[in-house]
A and B are shown apart, each in its own frame.
Chain A
């Protein structure tokens, strides 16, 4: 791999990736990825389809474990703790690292149950009142409380796409994660719903380390503070979003960002 343009000034990284590689069977999806992702900020992963950005994202909560043929190498640390070690239970890890997916995927249950599911299985609430409080704060943080407060018993799938995505974010928040991974969270939404989610992401930034994979460069530019550009399974460039979007160092980043990909 050639030089990676790195802004190395990040101290106290929340998530550290070092020489991370993922293979699916005999196919190498990504290799040699090294990143230091700051806390309380939004980091965007951009790149053309199949560049491995989602794969890298999924190493952070070990979602790749669920794919039989996927093999992860290298080191992924959260707060300095190696998460690929045997002593870390992926179930516990996923409570610390929430995830929001491309398509809004609320459970076909009530809005309340959607949010309460995580706290319930992790035993985070000792009683009904406490659970109610968690549900309420989560929905409030996700900016959805005012819209659904009077119909918590209705199915989550009855909400609009944007509301569903915010419900999914509330569900992720409910287990008090430290890191929230978002895999193209707005690709199925209209611009207004997208704007609401982006505003929400901006608010959540104050309390969480957010990593977002997006196909929309404009979105990456709007919501993120740091941007990493991936190409053909390599991390090409990583740095402050402003620098990436005005003055990318690598020709590939340049070509991708200006829309000149051949």
Chain B
């Protein structure tokens, strides 16, 4: 091989080598970019869901604390104050806002704007300060979750159109007819017809699907069923189409159609009929207005029909009215951080779970860290190398791979059934998590101890330090950052663990905030991941956002925890 040949061969090979390297780097960068993108997606989707849970709409009412109602015994004693009817006081305050609402059913809807549980807050406020009795105070509380969601635009789409041109209103028997000489309601009429057409189209499409299914079905019974369904749908669609025909009569709005509310003269009317000529609309008065004529009217179109939502037109009208009167304000959701769990989403908070987590992790740390670290020290530094210690080592490594739920079962069997410790308690939770974390801590601590250069041990032994002195004066301080890192990773793992806690009853609904003290250890509590698990299952729509918010809080807790670990590590490292 001549030198030139060799040169070109090397050159060719070199190009391939560079290509390989470039490809490898590209793969690496791609992997990192992919991971970052996934992370951004995760954080983004959770964050965007969570963001609405971090704000809350609060309702402020002037509440008259009538002495007879809140203090039945009249002696301002806590006992008497506790027997007062605070819910009644709140109901009175709301009725005062909407005096025309008298029907029992309507009142139930109206009182649905808040959760009776907030009455307890009012009670506490009065009990703390009995002088308030007899006064009229501004009481602020979170509006009901549905109202909150409505105000955040999550219940229904809401379009507003202002119509001008002079209106007269005639009222009779709880109904109102609004007449526009200019026929401005024609636009509303056309929109309603379009809605009807859309609906009819949808139903016809469904009918077609039934038909194809009927043809495709193998057995006669099922085919018959489907063709009956198709026939019903066809008739339904035909009925809707009939409504859209301009036959000179009024166009009726059913609850299956998007609702139209007319805000006029300070009141709200929910439209249920529009005249064919577009000159008048009529409907139920939801909030009474204060005049018979008006220069303009606002038509609110709520895209989700009343039948498809749990927040009625009336409630929407009241909420809108309260907002217009300035009784509703949006602010940071402090309730989320000051309340424990609740059945009512607007009152549910993560404080209880956070404290539960802190207590549980404190127990875990107090048990797992010393036991784990000292086990690691003994095994690594003192234990003779023989079959028994080999066996122990293998078993510890295996334990690290045991599914965490098994530890939960162990906790249930041993701590609760045998030792009789309380269920749902952070003490037991912490003990179970400590068991689960121990192998991680032992393995990482052993690795950290092993990483200390033997020269340091020799140095200490060489000047006459005993084995124990060598370990505690030199080896342990040097391996502390590594041990700490391993322990924190174990703790973070424990903090995010749900399964073993399910087994020992920490999945219960706990509405009280556990006390952040030794007593709290045996009080029922739950932890953040379990709280997330519970909320994700919650029936109320408002829990969706809260679940995301709780995830964010948990992530924040973990980041704080890890930051603390990094900080401690740095400190130790500079010290040594």
- Direct contact, A vs B (beta carbon within 8 Å): yes
Q: Which residues of A contact B (CB under 8 A)?
A: 61, 63, 66, 68, 91-95, 98-101, 103, 105-109, 117-118, 121-122, 168, 171-172, 174-175
Q: Does B555 contact A (CB under 8 A)?
A: no
Nearest Cβ in chain B — how far from A212, in angstroms?
A: 15
* Known contacts A101-B455, A109-B576; A118 and B463 CB within 8 A of each other: yes
Question: How far is B464's CA from A118's CA once the two chains are assembled, in angstroms?
Answer: 7
List CB contacts (< 8 Å) of B462-519 with chain A: 462-466, 469, 473-474, 478
Contact B453 A94 (CB under 8 A): no
**A residues in contact with B456, CB < 8 Å:** 105, 107-108
User: In this complex, what residue of B is CB-closest to A69?
Assistant: B385
Nearest Cβ in chain B — how far from A95, in angstroms?
A: 4
Q: Does B458 contact A (CB under 8 A)?
A: yes
**B residues in contact with A94, CB < 8 Å:** 461-464
User: In this complex, what residue of A is CB-closest to B383?
Assistant: A68
User: In this complex, what residue of B is CB-closest to A157?
Assistant: B576
List CB contacts (< 8 Å) of B435-462 with chain A: 453, 455-462
Q: Which of A66, A168, A174 contacts B459 (CB 8 A)?
A: A168
Nearest Cβ in chain A — how far from B334, in angstroms?
A: 48
Question: How far is B462's CA from A175's CA once the two chains are assembled, in angstroms?
Answer: 11
Question: How far is B459's CA from A79's CA once the two chains are assembled, in angstroms?
Answer: 24
Contact A105 B461 (CB under 8 A): no
Question: How far is B478's CA from A188's CA once the two chains are assembled, in angstroms?
Answer: 23
- 9 further A-B pairs in the complex, CB-CB below 8 A; given A101-B458, A105-B455, A117-B463: A61-B462, A63-B462, A98-B462, A100-B462, A101-B462, A121-B463, A168-B459, A175-B463, A175-B464
Question: How far is B473's CA from A117's CA once the two chains are assembled, in angstroms?
Answer: 10
Contact A172 B463 (CB under 8 A): yes
Question: How far is B461's CA from A100's CA once the two chains are assembled, in angstroms?
Answer: 11
Question: How far is B461's CA from A68's CA once the two chains are assembled, in angstroms?
Answer: 15
Question: How far is B385's CA from A117's CA once the two chains are assembled, in angstroms?
Answer: 30
Question: How far is B455's CA from A99's CA once the two chains are assembled, in angstroms?
Answer: 12
**A residues in contact with B469, CB < 8 Å:** 121
Q: Does B384 contact A (CB under 8 A)?
A: yes
Q: Which of A92, A95, A108, A109 contacts B463 (CB 8 A)?
A: A95
Q: Which residues of B contact A (CB under 8 A)?
A: 384-385, 453, 455-466, 469, 473-474, 478, 576
Question: How far is B459's CA from A98's CA once the two chains are assembled, in angstroms?
Answer: 10
User: In this complex, what residue of B is CB-closest to A62?
Assistant: B461
**B residues in contact with A168, CB < 8 Å:** 459
* Known contacts A94-B464, A105-B459; A68 and B453 CB within 8 A of each other: no
Q: Tell me the dominant secondary structure on chain B's binding face.
A: helix
**B residues in contact with A121, CB < 8 Å:** 463-465, 469, 473
Q: How many A-B residue pairs have CB under 8 A?
A: 64
Contact B474 A107 (CB under 8 A): yes
Contact A107 B460 (CB under 8 A): yes
* Known contacts A68-B384, A101-B455, A121-B469; A108 and B462 CB within 8 A of each other: no
Contact A99 B462 (CB under 8 A): yes
User: In this complex, what residue of A is CB-closest to B467?
Assistant: A66
Question: How far is B463's CA from A109's CA once the two chains are assembled, in angstroms?
Answer: 15
User: In this complex, what residue of B is CB-closest to A181?
Assistant: B462
Question: How far is B459's CA from A100's CA once the two chains are assembled, in angstroms?
Answer: 8
Contact A108 B455 (CB under 8 A): no
**A residues in contact with B453, CB < 8 Å:** 105
Q: List 24 A-B contacts (CB under 8 A).
A: A61-B462, A91-B464, A91-B465, A99-B458, A99-B462, A100-B462, A101-B455, A101-B458, A103-B455, A105-B453, A105-B456, A105-B459, A107-B456, A107-B459, A108-B576, A109-B576, A117-B463, A118-B463, A121-B463, A121-B465, A121-B473, A122-B464, A171-B459, A172-B463
Contact B461 A63 (CB under 8 A): yes
User: In this complex, what residue of B is CB-closest to A104?
Assistant: B455
**A residues in contact with B576, CB < 8 Å:** 108-109
**A residues in contact with B461, CB < 8 Å:** 63, 66, 94
User: In this complex, what residue of B is CB-closest to A171?
Assistant: B463
A-B residue pairs, 10 tightest by C-beta: A105-B455, A99-B462, A95-B464, A118-B463, A94-B464, A105-B459, A108-B576, A91-B466, A91-B464, A103-B455
Query: Which one of B453, B463, B466, B473 has the greatest number of beta carbons of chain A within 10 Å?
Result: B463
Nearest Cβ in chain A — how far from B463, in angstroms?
A: 4
Question: How far is B465's CA from A110's CA once the two chains are assembled, in angstroms?
Answer: 18
Q: Which of A68, A109, A172 contacts B462 (CB 8 A)?
A: A172
* Known contacts A101-B455, A101-B458; A108 and B478 CB within 8 A of each other: yes
Query: Which one of B384, B459, B469, B473 has the greatest number of beta carbons of chain A within 10 Å?
Result: B459
Contact B385 A68 (CB under 8 A): yes
Question: How far is B478's CA from A61's CA once the two chains are assembled, in angstroms?
Answer: 25
**B residues in contact with A63, CB < 8 Å:** 458, 461-462
Question: How far is B461's CA from A175's CA once the two chains are assembled, in angstroms?
Answer: 13
**A residues in contact with B457, CB < 8 Å:** 66
**A residues in contact with B478, CB < 8 Å:** 108
Query: Which one of B458, B474, B478, B576 has the greatest number of beta carbons of chain A within 10 Å?
Result: B458
**A residues in contact with B455, CB < 8 Å:** 101, 103, 105
User: In this complex, what residue of A is CB-closest to B462?
Assistant: A99
**B residues in contact with A99, CB < 8 Å:** 458, 462
**B residues in contact with A103, CB < 8 Å:** 455
Question: How far is B463's CA from A92's CA once the two chains are assembled, in angstroms?
Answer: 9
Contact A106 B459 (CB under 8 A): yes
**A residues in contact with B466, CB < 8 Å:** 91
**B residues in contact with A92, CB < 8 Å:** 464
Contact B459 A101 (CB under 8 A): yes
**A residues in contact with B460, CB < 8 Å:** 107, 117
Nearest Cβ in chain B — how far from A260, in angstroms?
A: 34
Contact B463 A98 (CB under 8 A): yes
**B residues in contact with A171, CB < 8 Å:** 459, 463
Nearest Cβ in chain B — how far from A211, in angstroms?
A: 14
Nearest Cβ in chain B — how far from A181, in angstroms?
A: 8
Question: How far is B456's CA from A229's CA once the two chains are assembled, in angstroms?
Answer: 29
**B residues in contact with A107, CB < 8 Å:** 456, 459-460, 474
Nearest Cβ in chain A — how far from B329, in angstroms?
A: 59
